[in-house]
Structure formats: C-alpha cells, structure tokens
A and B are shown apart, each in its own frame.
Chain A
C-alpha cells in the first residue's frame, strides 16, 4: 500500500478518519473479500462502486446514512 493514490490507500485513509488506523484496514480487507473476493492490494478503480455498495450498511450503522453517503461520494470522486 505504498502508493497513496491506490484504491486500497484511498479507502483506508477515508475509513481511518472514523475507524482508526487498526480497524480501517481490517474493514477494507473484510469487505473487499466479501464483495469482490480479492485482497485489498488487488483492488482496481472499477471495483470502487461495488465495494462502496458493500460498505454502505457498515458506514450507515456507525456514522448515519447521510454521512455514509457523503463519505462514499468523497471516495468515489477521488477514485474517478
């Protein structure tokens, strides 16, 4: 995850703001495996929408629906 513009790095950075440095990578690993069957370092930009869709319930549970949508939009924009 040395490239800060990689899909995994962008997701981890946004998630870490809420979940912290320990749980953010764990969350990414869990949902990447669950939604796409891949490891975080294998994520590609076209995977973004599907991964965000899988993470939406997790974000809604912890930060509320509106904020979850805003976080998803921020990640989507950065990886567009």
Chain B
C-alpha cells in the first residue's frame, strides 16, 4: 500500500469516526452512549500508540535517530490511552494521572523536537529563502499563542491542587511547544516535497493540526459557530500519526520509487 493510499484511508477513517461519534453514538442512551464514545476515543489513541511503537521497534527504539522520535511518540500516545481508559473506568488516582500527564507531555515535546531537527541533524538545510523560514516560525508562534492562551488562563483561574496544577501547566506548555514545532515540520515537508519522506513530515504536521483543533474546540471554535470539533481534532491527530508511522515504515522497507 502506498503512502498516498494510507493518507486517503486515514482521512476516510477520520470522517467515519467523526460521523459515527456525532450521528450514531450521540443518539444512544447512557450507559451505552458513554461506553461507545469512550471506546471510539480509546481505539483512536491506542491505534496511534501501536502504530508508533511498531515503527519505533523497526528502528531499534532509541538506538537509531529515526527510532527515538517514534519511541517517544508511542510513549505519549500509550500514556494518553492508559490515562483515558483509567479515567473512563472510574479509576481516579490523581497522582498517577498527573504523573502520566507530565511524562506523556515531555515525551511529546521530545518526539516533535527530534522530528523537527531531523533535516538539520542529517546535515541538510530547509529549502527556500530565509525570510520565508522566519515567517513560518513567527506564524507558528502566533498560532500557538492564540490556541493555548485560553487554556493557560483557565489553569490560572482554576482551584486545582499543587501537583495537579503543575501537571496542567506542563501540559499547556507542551501544547505550546509542540504547536510551535509545526514550523520545522512544515519546512521539512516543503524541503522534501516530491520525495517519499515528505509524507512522514506532512502527516506529522497534520497530527499537530488535529491537536490544535482539539485544543480550540471548547474556547475558540464555538465563537465562529463550529461546535463539537473536539473529537474530529482527536481523530485527525491519531489517524495522521498512524499514517505517518506507516509511511516511515514503508520508506524503510522498499525501494522508495515504488512506495
């Protein structure tokens, strides 16, 4: 299966999952609705975790540069999945949940930092004029600030306890950093366009856009009459990561000209 076909499948999966959640699950009665909604979300997160882990294992985990980013990404999605399932199952241990939030977010920062640095680490440079590169970074910082500021204000106003508040701050800080790190992903995508590796970086950038949609779903999107976009953002982030993981595997397995 080609990277292009996997991307199309990922987009179809996002549409199917969103429609299923919005038009099927929400018409059910509780507790069936609760279970179905939680299952859809857990399956999406779990799929991203498994796909990233399979790709990481192909590159020997931390032993290769390309494997490190995928290992950290698999840790991020695995912790998100476990944390979410425990929460939905009613097993609420605040210290454990907060620890997983912190560890998961640090893993996400590490993963996107490594992916963003890959081209430079390879001894290459972003393609294009310096002005465009600066503009992309400035735009990423502006978008990240716009998207994450409402969350930071909510944390400042909240009455959460010390450790929980720290975990929330780290989570918001991680969101801010990973959203800014979309800039090197987009510049890498632009530099590698036409090459098979561009699929990997393009899909990783798409997953970040998914998390941006997920983050603004409660605060900003309702103001422009877009409602219930949170699950769409989450499904987009998870399916894009799964497709990116597949594309990275595909590039490593066969002659790129046929991927």
Contacts and interface: CB of A to CB of B under 8 A. Distances in A.
Interface of A: 16-24, 26-27, 30-31, 34, 57-67, 74
B122 to A, nearest CB: 4
B137 interface: no
A30 B256 contact: no
Contacts of A62: 66, 118-119, 122, 197
Given A64-B58, A66-B252, A26 B196 contact: no
Which of under 10, 10 to 19, 20 to 34, or 35 or more describes the interface residues of B?
20 to 34
A17 B58 contact: no
A63 B252 contact: yes
A16 B197 contact: no
A19 B255 CA distance: 13
B92 interface: no
A18 B191 contact: no
B106 interface: no
A64 B191 contact: no
Given A20-B194, A60-B64, A62-B66, A27 B124 contact: yes
11 contacts: A16-B195, A17-B195, A20-B191, A20-B197, A21-B195, A22-B194, A23-B124, A26-B125, A27-B124, A57-B123, A64-B59
A17 B124 contact: no
Contacts of B193: 20, 22
Nearest to A16: B195
A15 to B, nearest CB: 8
Nearest to B197: A18
Nearest to B128: A22
Contact of B196 (A18, A30, A34, A74): A18
A23 B119 CA distance: 10
A24 to B, nearest CB: 7
A23 B255 CA distance: 18
A26 B66 CA distance: 21
Interface string B175-210: 000000000000000011111111000000000000
In order of increasing CB-CB distance, the 3 nearest A-B pairs are A20-B195, A17-B256, A20-B194
Given A17-B196, A62-B118, A64-B64, A23 B123 contact: no
B46 interface: no
Interface in B98-145: 118-119, 121-125, 127
B173 interface: no
A74 B255 CA distance: 10
A16 B122 contact: no
Contacts of B40: none
Contacts of B64: 60, 64-65
B256 A18 contact: yes
